[in-house]
């Protein structure tokens, strides 16, 4: 078999195939439910109900979506330039550490929130700067270095929580002291458990969209991603563009950790992120790397996680069904997107 480009793919093809990918994922969900000995339709219903069935469920889904919007944006920005930042998990923790360092009394109101947000972004950006400089200067593959940094960062967090950042009142639990009230992100609406981190995530998505569509940097990022050789030939500073992309990407990922600490948890613990950095890759890919699409796919992915937790308690299907579905959706989606542009021919 070989692939033949389709000159002008029809709208039906461009929209139908991604939709088919989602339907196929639902099929996999039902098959997994059957394997687990549960009623497939009931399982799907319980996932939907658990994610969206009540005001509380919706708020929980939006809260869970908040860090995923940030990490999804971080990945979308980087992958657009074919900069493979798989280190969003580590950059997230860099932001979380800064939130604790500056939020436990070092700074007071009204400086603490804006300063710690900026410092968190700088920390995340700095963390990705190393791998990207190794890539541009020495040709070291950034996939492996960013992946390895995730493990180093988790150990560093563990060290901080047992040493310098240990909560003296923690009763032996490895967690940091609580943030002072002035360093906490307030709720958007009084009485509703949804913090300003969610609103900031939406704003970040719009800002990234504006950067990508309305600025020279956005144009350069796309050009470098599509064909670095051509971009270099056209006189673009490819390495500088990659460094700028990395700073933006690392900063966005750091905001995920910063907002989880300042908005939701109020302290740092080593289980702050159940893999938000890695899930950001799925969020970004499902959104076709579009920053505004990331908002929708992050809510979708968060809904699958929150819904699966609720479903698992009720129907007894392991909650890991969510991870399987999302990985399946990712693979189906990249294949569907390819098939919107090419057709398979014999020979």
155 interacts with other proteins by CB under 8 A: yes
Q: Interface with other proteins by CB under 8 A: which range of 104-112, 114-122, 159-167, 258-266? A: 159-167
Q: Interface with other proteins by CB under 8 A: which range of 2-10, 193-201, 239-247, 290-298? A: 2-10
- State how far the Cα of 277 lies from the Cα of 254, in Å rounded to an integer: 10
Interacting residue with other proteins among 99, 127, 149, 205 (CB under 8 A): 149
Quote the least distance from Cβ 270 to other proteins, whole Å. Answer: 11
Site for other proteins in 40-59 (CB under 8 A): none
Quote the least distance from Cβ 209 to other proteins, whole Å. Answer: 22
Interacting residue with other proteins among 148, 188, 207, 211 (CB under 8 A): 148
Spell out the residues 6+ positions from residue 102 whose beta carbon is closer than 8 angstroms to its own: 112, 115, 116, 119, 183
Cis (ω within 30 of 0) for the bond into 336?
no
233 interacts with other proteins by CB under 8 A: no
Tokens of 224: 């470098």
Nearest CA to 125 out of 154, 152, 88, 160 is that of 88
Tokens of 155: 């150990």
Residue identified by tokens 């289980």 is 271
Question: Do 29 and 38 touch, CB atoms closer than 8 A?
Answer: no
DSSP letter string over 157-194?
HHHHHHTTT--TTSTT--BPPPPPGGGSPPBSSTTSS-
Interacting residue with other proteins among 13, 24, 52, 278 (CB under 8 A): 278
- State how far the Cα of 280 lies from the Cα of 146, in Å rounded to an integer: 14
- State how far the Cα of 104 lies from the Cα of 46, in Å rounded to an integer: 40
Quote the least distance from Cβ 121 to other proteins, whole Å. Answer: 24
200 or 336: CB nearest other proteins? 336
158 interacts with other proteins by CB under 8 A: yes
22 interacts with other proteins by CB under 8 A: no
Quote the least distance from Cβ 23 to other proteins, whole Å. Answer: 18
172 or 347: CB nearest other proteins? 347
- State how far the Cα of 318 lies from the Cα of 114, in Å rounded to an integer: 41
Q: How far is CA 115 from the centre of its chain?
A: 23
331 interacts with other proteins by CB under 8 A: yes
305 interacts with other proteins by CB under 8 A: no
190 interacts with other proteins by CB under 8 A: no
Nearest CA to 207 out of 218, 221, 194, 196 is that of 218
> Rule CB under 8 A: which residues touch other proteins?
1-4, 32, 35-36, 84, 86, 134, 138-141, 143-145, 147-149, 151-152, 155-156, 158-159, 162-163, 278, 281-282, 285, 316, 318-321, 323-324, 326-328, 330-331, 334-335, 338, 345, 347
């Amino acid at each position: 078999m070989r692939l033949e480009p389709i000159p002008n793919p029809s709208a039906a093809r461009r929209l139908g195939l991604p939709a088919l990918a989602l339907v196929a994922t639902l099929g996999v969900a039902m098959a997994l439910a059957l394997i687990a000995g549960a009623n497939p339709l009931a399982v799907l219903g319980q996932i939907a109900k658990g994610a969206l069935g009540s005001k509380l469920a919706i708020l929980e889904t939006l809260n869970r979506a908040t860090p995923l919007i940030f990490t999804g944006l971080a990945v979308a920005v980087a992958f657009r330039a074919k900069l493979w930042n798989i280190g969003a998990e580590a950059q997230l923790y860099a932001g979380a550490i800064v939130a604790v360092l500056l939020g436990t009394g070092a700074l007071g109101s009204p400086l603490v929130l804006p300063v710690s947000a900026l410092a968190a972004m700088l920390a995340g950006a700095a963390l990705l700067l190393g791998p990207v400089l190794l890539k541009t200067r020495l040709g070291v593959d950034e996939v492996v270095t960013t992946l390895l940094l995730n493990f180093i960062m988790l150990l560093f967090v563990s060290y901080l929580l047992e040493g310098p950042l240990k909560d003296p009142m923690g009763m032996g639990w490895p967690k940091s002291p609580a943030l002072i009230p002035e360093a906490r992100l307030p709720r958007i609406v009084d009485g509703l458990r949804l913090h300003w981190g969610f609103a900031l995530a939406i704003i970040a998505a719009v800002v990234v969209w504006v950067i990508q569509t309305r600025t020279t940097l956005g144009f350069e990022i796309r050009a470098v991603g599509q064909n670095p050789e051509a971009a270099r030939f056209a006189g673009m500073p490819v390495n500088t563009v990659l460094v700028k992309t990395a700073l933006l990407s690392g900063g966005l990922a750091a905001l995920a950790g910063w907002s989880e600490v300042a908005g939701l948890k109020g302290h740092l613990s080593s289980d702050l992120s159940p893999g938000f950095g890695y899930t950001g890759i799925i969020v970004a890919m499902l959104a076709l790397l579009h920053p505004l699409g990331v908002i929708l796919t992050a809510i979708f992915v968060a809904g699958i996680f929150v819904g699966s937790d609720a479903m698992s308690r009720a129907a007894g299907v392991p909650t890991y069904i969510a991870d399987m579905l999302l990985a399946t959706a990712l693979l189906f989606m990249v294949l569907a997107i390819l098939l919107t542009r090419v057709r398979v021919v014999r020979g």
